[in-house]
Structure 1
């Protein structure tokens, strides 16, 4: 049973401690057991305040997106979206796709999902040269399970391999999704976003 199906099963109880990655009844002398990257990402992403929606197929993704639009009353609003393929995919939702930063929300894909921090890795392919604090507060990110990587170094390596020799000039991560959450010295200066992640199964 995959991680995301287990998360949707209320009767499932993990044997692992999400903080330490080991079984709670194991001796401290046993070697540490690492969590799978998908489980690690989910734990840290939700801990950061992100809203996570797992979708087994496109139909579920479309339904989840529709629910987000209804919940926030975002229909017939300006949407910041730089990707033509996304505009085509979501063309039937009566949205006004623009490149204006004062839009109601951002609709975007991403480069990677970083497991060890729960962050979303973006580059100029999604947001051009815009800084995070210039983008709308609300974001809807469409990603796939195959985009989950262990750490940011792995994500940057994928960008380098795919984009070479034209490496994007603007590479950034979104990690702080909760304005009420007390910031520590690691999150000072970060741009808080109200972020929904539509995670599509592709493995």
Structure 2
């Protein structure tokens, strides 16, 4: 049974199937359960949306709660959504204005989010705003980077995107500098609006 259906189904329907995800090992969890657990443990803010209207309402609440007047947005469909919720959009990058975007894949094993030039254009993640609001669908959850890259390859068979990178930490103040990440801090404060599409 899908994690989101288990989470939101009536108690008597899933009483026998309840598994405490806090005590379950990651190997026992489904991809979607593992992604959510890993994402939240890294400081990401997760909002499950069962339909588009709920996603719009959650976006509106995020913008209002943070007192943001507009969003940085490169995608025309997302600009329409920001207009629907009463927020202006701009393509001018300002650190204090959130970046509203799609993503390529959600990586279950890491709880990270994979992006490409389709979302970022020629911008490095480090040069984009400090806050991200990401619109993703449950069908974008994959096991790991390898599956994420295969999915990108399938999506863009002829025009493979560039600038493929991920955000792995959602608390920029707590990023541990290690030798492999030196000078490449992609940590962002991130809201994930996850729309059920399965």
In the superposition, the TM-score normalised over structure 2's length comes to 0.86
Root mean square deviation of aligned Cα: 2.4
Question: Larger % of helix: which?
Answer: 2
Structure 1 SS opposite 2:133:
strand
User: For the structure 1 residues 148 and 18, does the alpha-carbon distance in structure 2 shift closer, same or farther, using more than 3 Å as the test?
Assistant: farther
Large movers: runs of 4+ above 3 Å: 5-9, 15-19, 186-189
Note the C-alpha offset of 1:15. 4.2
Indicate if the aligned counterparts of 1:123 and 1:171 stay in contact, CA closer than 8 A.
Answer: yes
In the superposition, the TM-score normalised over structure 1's length comes to 0.84
User: For the structure 1 residues 68 and 17, does the alpha-carbon distance in structure 2 shift closer, same or farther, using more than 3 Å as the test?
Assistant: closer
Please say if 1:151 is aligned against 2:144.
yes
Note the C-alpha offset of 1:18. 5.4
Indicate if the aligned counterparts of 1:18 and 1:40 stay in contact, CA closer than 8 A.
Answer: no
Note the C-alpha offset of 1:164. 2.0
**Superposition pairs for residues 25-104 of structure 1, below 5 Å?**
34-75=28-69, 77=70, 79-102=71-94, 104=97
Indicate if the aligned counterparts of 1:141 and 1:196 stay in contact, CA closer than 8 A.
Answer: yes
> Match of 2:154?
161
- Which of residues 106, 112, 118 in structure 1 aligns to 2:111? 118
Tell me, which stretches of 5 or more residues in structure 1 are unaligned? 22-32
Deviations 1:38-81 (A, max 9, x none): 00100100011100000111111111111101110113x3x221
Provide the rounded CA distance (Å) in 2 between the counterparts of 1:89 and 1:62: 7
Provide the rounded CA distance (Å) in 2 between the counterparts of 1:123 and 1:14: 35
Note the C-alpha offset of 1:5. 4.4
> Match of 1:199?
194
Deviations 1:67-108 (A, max 9, x none): 101110113x3x221111111222223333222221501000
Provide the rounded CA distance (Å) in 1 between the counterparts of 2:7 and 2:173: 25
Indicate if the aligned counterparts of 2:56 and 2:85 stay in contact, CA closer than 8 A.
Answer: no
- Which of residues 133, 140, 144 in structure 2 aligns to 1:140? 133
Please say if 1:4 is aligned against 2:4.
yes
What is the count of residue pairs matched by the alignment? Answer: 190
Provide the rounded CA distance (Å) in 2 between the counterparts of 1:18 and 1:174: 26
Structure 2 SS opposite 1:90:
helix
Please say if 1:190 is aligned against 2:190.
no
User: For the structure 1 residues 80 and 153, does the alpha-carbon distance in structure 2 shift closer, same or farther, using more than 3 Å as the test?
Assistant: same
